[in-house]
Amino acid sequence: MGDPQEADGVDERRFDLDVEGRVVPGILWTPTGAVGPRPLVLLGHGATRHKRVDHIVAIARQVVQNFEFAAMAIDAPFHGDRRPDPDADEFTVFSDFLVEWSRQGSVEDMVADWKATLEAVRDLDEVGDGPLGYWGLSMGTIYGIPFVATEPRVQAAVFGLMGLVGPTTERLATDAAGVNCPVAFIQQWDDSLLPRQPVLDLFDALASLDKRLHVHPGEHAAVPVEELEYSVAFLARHLM
Amino acid sequence: MGDPQEADGVDERRFDLDVEGRVVPGILWTPTGAVGPRPLVLLGHGATRHKRVDHIVAIARQVVQNFEFAAMAIDAPFHGDRRPDPDADEFTVFSDFLVEWSRQGSVEDMVADWKATLEAVRDLDEVGDGPLGYWGLSMGTIYGIPFVATEPRVQAAVFGLMGLVGPTTERLATDAAGVNCPVAFIQQWDDSLLPRQPVLDLFDALASLDKRLHVHPGEHAAVPVEELEYSVAFLARHLM
């Protein structure tokens, strides 16, 4: 765990954790001077992005500054600091992700990465064993639904920008049926990466009785600020 | 316009207006002691309900108490004080509505009722010519979309619990393409009155660039309080 970089009441610490021989790079955000357990929000980034992309940092800082929560993000395989070539172009990164997504064991490995980093930061006094939330769209939902399905401590989750498509379609459907916590699910109505129906089918497959789907016009990456603000408020409401 | 009944800073006034020979009963809610123009929210009730059903009164009081707006509701044909038999059972009222909905001219008449009552209350100093919002689900959408499509002064609208179904399907589709203001659209995912796809089709048909669809599990009438609160905040944001 690196030394904290402090800005406006938020400490940001870079860490690397060895998980089954994989080096998993992460960031932990906590209130400056925090003592004792608090709610923790896990942030799963999208394909071609990384643990410190703008909206991840923005959400992390909001939950820390506005609610005194902690937040954590890790890089997914072949993203961020898990790339040997940090300057790789977006097509290369996306292509590597599609290969990784198709690899048998990809989901299991990422779920293990989440669980191990989660346990590591919960050992810190200023994080501890508080309520747990998950936020992840697109690739953050591909890996997030399997994680949340096997992590009953998660009390609220934000998913979206994904549907019952791709190499892990069956796994996603099965794991969605194992998600029982309150969920906010985000869909972009004009998403050229995802047909509408499989997205609605994934929302439908979530077992949660308390779930809501928020749909906005526009492309995959055009989720409006309104929805990011809602997702933070949603998690705060359930974790406070 | 009757004398105001005041409660907790909200004046409620019952009125009847003659519109093309029809007596249109309405209620106007304003802040006690209000002077000068202010935003006005029009509230269209659902089939078998009336202008003073619980959630209509709750929304009216919220927009008055929290935002100093005015609010108005009118009874639809064969509802509330527009029934000769005020004790008619719900099946009778719903059956009468279906006959009325199928009547040529039904939409035109209700749009005329909205326009005439709107003009009447805007003549009052404490309502005046402020920003205009519309809130109406189910039957409130059946008549509300045609009204908003022809009333360019409406700056934000809440619709939902309706789809491209029933005797005015074509009219609804045409009028939805004439709605351009920001819209919040509410759908119940397990609505036994409405198949999912025609509801999504109606949301899709709205021309508004700024629109959002909020979907919740449950039956037609089970819209959660969360969504009623959101819809008030949505209107307030656009009318303030």
- For residue B217, the distance in angstroms to the closest alpha carbon of chain A comes to 7
Confidence band of B7 (pLDDT split at 50, 70, 90): confident
**B17: Cβ contacts below 8 Å, ≥ 6 apart:** B23, B24, B26, B116, B117, B120
| Residue A180 forms contact with B (CB below 8 Å) | no
3-class SS string, chain B: CCCCEEECCEEEEEEEEEECCEEEEEEEEEECCCCCCCCEEEEECCCCCCCCCHHHHHHHHHHHHHHCCEEEEECCCCCHHHCCCCCCCHHHHHHHHHHHHHCCCHHHHHHHHHHHHHHHHHCCCCCCCCCEEEEECCHHHHCHHHHHHCCCCEEEEEEECCCCCCCCHHHHHHHHCCCCCCEEEEEECCCCCCCHHHHHHHHHHCCCCCEEEEEECCCCCCCCHHHHHHHHHHHHHHHC
Q: Looking at residue B117, what is its pLDDT?
A: 98
Q: Looking at the predicted structure, is the pLDDT value of residue B86 above 90?
A: no
| Residue A213 forms contact with B (CB below 8 Å) | yes
Q: Percent of chain A scored above 70 by pLDDT?
A: 100
Are residues B216 and A212, on separate chains, in Cβ contact within 8 Å? yes
Q: Which of A200, A209, A212 sits opposite B214 (nearest CB)?
A: A212
Q: Looking at residue A151, what is its pLDDT?
A: 96
CA A215, CA A59: separation in Å to the nearest integer? 20
Tell me the average pLDDT across A139-150.
98
Q: Looking at residue A178, what is its pLDDT?
A: 98
What part of A 67-86 touches B (C-beta under 8 Å)? none
Q: Looking at the predicted structure, is the pLDDT value of residue A1 above 80?
A: no
Which one has a higher pLDDT value, B116 or B1?
A: B116
| Residue B225 forms contact with A (CB below 8 Å) | no
In this complex, how many residue pairs, one in chain A and one in chain B, have their CB atoms less than 8 Å apart? 38
Confidence band of B83 (pLDDT split at 50, 70, 90): very high
User: In whole numbers, what is the pLDDT of chain B averaged over residues?
Assistant: 96
Q: Looking at residue B3, what is its pLDDT?
A: 82
Confidence band of A86 (pLDDT split at 50, 70, 90): confident
Q: Looking at the predicted structure, is the pLDDT value of residue A7 above 90?
A: no
Confidence band of B207 (pLDDT split at 50, 70, 90): very high
Q: Looking at residue B4, what is its pLDDT?
A: 84
Q: Looking at the predicted structure, is the pLDDT value of residue A104 above 90?
A: yes
Tell me the average pLDDT across A216-225.
96
Tell me the average pLDDT across B28-50.
97
- For residue A212, the distance in angstroms to the closest alpha carbon of chain B comes to 5
